[in-house]
Amino acid sequence: MYDSSVNENKPLRVLVYSDDRDVREQVVLALGTRPHPDLPPFEFVQCATEPVVFQKLDAGAIDLVILDGEAVPAGGMGIARQIKDEIYQAPPVLLITGRQDDAWLATWSRAEAAISHPIEPLRLAETVIDLARGICEPN
């Protein structure tokens, strides 16, 4: 989903949800503030609970969502599905599943992309860059 309001001067706001601080940190460190020179810088919004995820999404200005499917008590898969059901023009979602064989659950949740634990920084960056390009570049 292309967003004409995103440009090089305005950072791309990326929401990262996990109940585990280490997972959130791995995501942020793997991506850095500018994962690709063709993209605007990233600004991270970290959330540890489901209510805060929806509070941030309802406030607007979130361009991309990364959800930990293994978070408890609210897993990223259910949150992804709820985002797609309830938010008009929802931002793209990347789901981090517990294992590669759980990729079908990402399809059920309607996430645009999925990777699995353990987080591989290069694979995460490549996947996020692809999603971010869809936001930043007209079709």
Q: What pLDDT is recorded for position 137?
A: 75
User: What's the chain's average pLDDT?
Assistant: 92
Domains and CATH numbers, the chain: 12-136 (3.40.50.2300)
Structure-model confidence comparison of residues 11 and 138, the more confident one = 11
Q: Render pLDDT for 81-135 as a digit per residue (tens, 0 to 9).
A: 999 999 999 999 999 998 888 878 888 999 999 999 999 999 999 999 999 999 9
Residue whose C-alpha is closest to residue 95's, from 134, 68, 124: 68
What is the pLDDT, as a whole number, of residue 105? 83
Pairing assessment for the beta strands 64-68 and 42-47 based on DSSP bridges: unpaired
The residue type found at 103 is A
pLDDT score for 8: 61
Three state DSSP letters for 1-43: CCCCCCCCCCCEEEEEECCCHHHHHHHHHHHCCCCCCCCCCEE
Burial category of 106 from C-beta neighbours within 10 Å (exposed 0-12, middle 13-18, buried 19 and up): buried
